[in-house]
Amino acid sequence: MALPFQASADFAITKDAGTPCHNLQSDFGCGIHMRLRDEGFQGCTVFDCFGAGQKTAQVTFGGEDWRRAPQTATQMFSVFGVMRQLHELLWYLTEALSLLPARTLHGELRRSMDETERLTFLSADELQLLDLPAHRETVNSLLLRTSELVRATARSRSAKGAPRQKKNLRGADLMGAALKGADLRGGNLRGAYLIAADLSGADLRMADLIGADFRDADLSGADLSESFFVTQPQLNAAKGDAATKLPPSLMRPTHWTAA
């Protein structure tokens, strides 16, 4: 209901923000949930609100919904946009606290996480007035420091004399890039455009993948077992197989090939 989408390879139809999807059922379920990819709604299968929808509906609005109280709809959808970003930050902060190379920052990370959690319990009016960009910048600065500590550990582990490949690929345009078997250990791929890139067999251990666009990227046989700041939606947007190694907190997408 809240979000818009445009007819494309990811969505079979165009839908405006605040307009119900025609697949939305009366119980708020999706009428084609098990057939989303077959029906042309791949974009739905790669979206995750990180629990922000539930928090907004059940906590901020006390279990109210826009069907029973249509006057709440405009504000509810606005608040949801804020809440989703806060919950995404909580996801990254939680993972950062699990990274041993960043243990010297754990105190700051916990305080940042507590503050972010506190913000999620603000009232709807307060959330709409929140200076979210400023808070994101503060958290991002801390996540960048975390990333540097983790990636420095990866660099120290790298074998001496091994072929050197460019590791700072932050925001790089790598759409369709041939990176088969690439050694990207400890790489900075924040926000990199990896759409349809061939990363089969690539080593992405201890690589920072926050915001990397993996749509239709081939991760077959790639090693992401120690990659960090990677999310389930990123994997859902990619291609992979049974040989792809994943972080233990993430699931192998059902549409990936078995071998």
3-state secondary structure the chain: CCCCECCCCCCCCCECCCCCCCCECCCCCECCHHHCCCCCCHHHHCCCCCCHHHHHHHHHCCCCCCCCCHHHHHHHHHHHHHHHHHHHHHHHHHHHCCCHHHHHHHHHHHHHHHHHHHHCCCCHHHHHHCCHHHHHHHHHHHHHHHHHHHHHHHHHHCCCCCCCCCCECCCCECCCCECCCCECCCCECCCCECCCCECCCCECCCCECCCCECCCCECCCCECCCCECCCHHHHHCCECCCCCECCCCCCCCCCCCCC
Taking CA atoms, 202 is separated from 75, 171, 180, 208, 242, in Å, by 45, 19, 6, 14, 15
Spatial neighbors of 174 by CB under 8 A, at least 6 apart, are 192, 193, 194, 197
Instruction: For each of the domains in the chain, give its residue range(s) and CATH number, in order of start.
Output: 1-45 (no CATH), 52-154 (no CATH), 162-259 (2.160.20.80)
pLDDT digits (tens, 9 = 90+) for 102-152: 999 999 999 999 999 999 999 999 999 999 999 999 999 999 999 999 999
pLDDT-based confidence at residue 163 (cuts at 50, 70, 90): very low
Q: Please indicate, yes or no, whether the overall pTM of this predicted structure exceeds 0.85.
A: yes
CA end-to-end distance (rounded Å), the chain: 37
Residue range 237-258: mean pLDDT, rounded: 92
> What pLDDT is stored for residue 165 in this prediction?
52
Taking CA atoms, 90 is separated from 9, 86, 142, 144, 185, in Å, by 30, 6, 13, 15, 25
Average pLDDT taken over every residue of the chain: 93
Contact yes or no for 214/234 (Cβ under 8 A): yes
pLDDT digits (tens, 9 = 90+) for 219-231: 999 999 999 999 9
> What pLDDT is stored for residue 155 in this prediction?
72
pLDDT digits (tens, 9 = 90+) for 166-205: 578 999 999 999 999 999 999 999 999 999 999 999 999 9
Report the alpha-carbon distance of residue 182 to residue 179 in Å, rounded.
Answer: 5
